[in-house]
Amino acid sequence: MAATAPSLPDRAPTPDGRRRRRPRFGVYALLVPASAVIAVALGYPLVRQFVISFQEYGLRQQFGAPAEWVGLKNYRELLTDSYVWTVIGRSIAFCLVNAALTMLIGVAFAVLMTRVTRGARITMQVAMLLAWGTPVLATMTVWQWLFDTKYGVINWVLSNVFGLHGMEGHSWIIDPTSFFFVATVIVVWMSVPFVAFSVYAGLTQVPGETLEAAEIDGASARQRFWNITMPMIRPVLSIVALLQVIWDLKVFTQIYTLQRAGAPTHDTNLLGTLIYSFARDFAKAGALATIMLVITLALTGFYIRHMLKEDEL
């Protein structure tokens, strides 16, 4: 029989006798195309925005006029404006309230889908997919009709069914408090399906044997949920909550559409709409967008640090 050549070892021996795995550069090379696309699609606009925020950049510069370097002037003007700080606080509060409500309702729907029959679960899933997949502007048109002053179903139900006659002809978007109530209803309604589907997928991966063993040991349904199920799906909850905070902080379309319907812009601006209001001052818009990015990184960094501390316990 012809002798076969011995195959080379995948790992080279070290002085202590153990074998060291050779680096496989081919695996990392596969990340190069995706990294290049991300760097071009996201990196360049981010760097360009950061550079413009230190310049005097308006419509004239869009048509070729040289941009004057002004340093921290744009940031100084924004951070010394009390209205900007009011909008920042309002945006953070709106973000945290919406994220908390979305997570609470989304988790409740996910748990409900694990308890109902197959037909009811499919019905819920189809309904949430329709709510999630409908374009934002189309959804906003429906909600504007629901909360319409003269012909809205909400006012009719409150006045004729619940006897709140003062709600006849009530304008929901004129008052800032009711404006943000409507905005919260819309934003949460559109965000709940993502949370519900993600958490439901995590719930389906919880081992049934573990829950059965806990039940045999005398653990109640509430104890099994809080002490077994929730810790097991914590990674899913953490990622979903983090994404929800990021999305709710930069919400724009819902607020802008409601403002165009007649709401007072000054009292209902969030960071997204305030940045958009600097339509002719690209430098201040870039500076405010950079401030918004810093706030987002601060919130996410705080959340990730808190999450890592819980994992270490």
* Angle of helix 118-133 versus helix 82-115 axis, rounded to 10: 160
Q: How confident is the model at residue 155, as a pLDDT?
A: 85
Q: How confident is the model at residue 92, as a pLDDT?
A: 92
Q: How confident is the model at residue 313, as a pLDDT?
A: 58
How does DSSP classify residue 269? -
Residue 98 has pLDDT above 80, yes or no: yes
pLDDT bracket for residue 196 (50, 70, 90): very high
Q: What percent of the chain has pLDDT over 90?
A: 27
Residue 180 has pLDDT above 90, yes or no: yes
Cα→Cα distances 203→168, 169, 228, Å: 44, 45, 11
Q: How confident is the model at residue 303, as a pLDDT?
A: 75
Residue 5 has pLDDT above 60, yes or no: no
Residue 137 has pLDDT above 50, yes or no: yes
pLDDT bracket for residue 187 (50, 70, 90): very high
Domain ranges within the chain, ordered by starting residue: 73-312
Round the average pLDDT of the chain to a whole number and report it.
84
Q: How confident is the model at residue 33, as a pLDDT?
A: 86
* Tens digit of each residue's pLDDT (9 = 90 or more) over 244-294: 998 999 899 999 999 988 888 889 999 999 999 887 788 888 899 899 988
Mean pLDDT of 101-117: 93
Closest alpha carbon to 200 in 73, 107, 81, 65? 107
Residue 20 has pLDDT above 60, yes or no: no
Q: How confident is the model at residue 22, as a pLDDT?
A: 55
pLDDT bracket for residue 11 (50, 70, 90): low
Mean pLDDT of 27-41: 83
Model-wide pTM > 0.85: no
Find the DSSP H helices in the chain. Answer: 25-29, 31-38, 44-52, 59-62, 73-79, 82-115, 118-133, 136-146, 153-156, 176-203, 208-216, 221-224, 230-232, 234-249, 253-260, 265-268, 271-277, 282-312
Q: How confident is the model at residue 157, as a pLDDT?
A: 86
The CATH number of 73-312 is 1.10.3720.10
Q: How confident is the model at residue 161, as a pLDDT?
A: 80
Residue 21 has pLDDT above 70, yes or no: no
* Tens digit of each residue's pLDDT (9 = 90 or more) over 36-67: 888 888 888 888 888 888 888 777 777 777 77
Structure tokens at 71: 């340093």
CA 134 to CA 282: how far, in whole Å? 32
Q: How confident is the model at residue 285, as a pLDDT?
A: 87
Residue 183 has pLDDT above 90, yes or no: yes
Residue 85 has pLDDT above 90, yes or no: yes
Q: How confident is the model at residue 8, as a pLDDT?
A: 47
Residue 89 has pLDDT above 90, yes or no: yes
